[in-house]
Amino acid sequence: QTVVTQEPTLSVSPGGTVTLTCGLRSGSVSTNYYPSWYQQIPGQAPRNLIYNTYTRSSGVPDRFSGSILGDKAALTITGAQADDESDYFCVLYMNTFEVFGGGTKLTVL
């Protein structure tokens, strides 16, 4: 079972806002886990969007933002576009391990 949890699927309307979350099967996610977010278009390599909870990677549009919401890390996409349809993975840094979540498949429709 995956220690790091994500919604398997989410959908958003074009122009809408969606929040993807990243939790722990046991416990709360905090900035101490330095959550990062990666976008992966099927058949392509992942691309880093957010690291260290809030920081956007170079060239990432500001419609992507990272935060902590309650006991989870969150990736919010504001003003979703068709090419945001993709798989999204969070990863937590835990005692020298990078632990990926199972991923969220985001549909824009």
Partner 1 sequence: VQLLESGGGLVQPGGSLRLSCAASAFSFSSYAMTWVRQAPGRGLEWVSAISGGSGTFYADSVRGRFTISRDNSRNTVYLEMNSLRGEDTAVYYCAKKARYSWGPGSMDVWGQGTTVTVSS
Which residues would be at the binding site for partner 1 (CB under 8 A)? Answer: 2, 34, 36, 38, 40, 44-48, 51-52, 55, 57-58, 89, 91, 93, 96-103
**Closer residue to partner 1 (CB): 71 or 98:** 98
Smallest gap from Cβ 47 to partner 1, in A, equals 7
**CA 65 centroid distance within chain:** 9
CA distances from 20 to 12, 88, 95 (A): 11, 8, 24
**Closer residue to partner 1 (CB): 47 or 78:** 47
Smallest gap from Cβ 109 to partner 1, in A, equals 22
**CA angle 38-19-22, nearest 5°?**
55
**Closer residue to partner 1 (CB): 47 or 79:** 47
> Length of the chain, please?
109
Q: Which residue has the tokens 């835990």?
A: 94
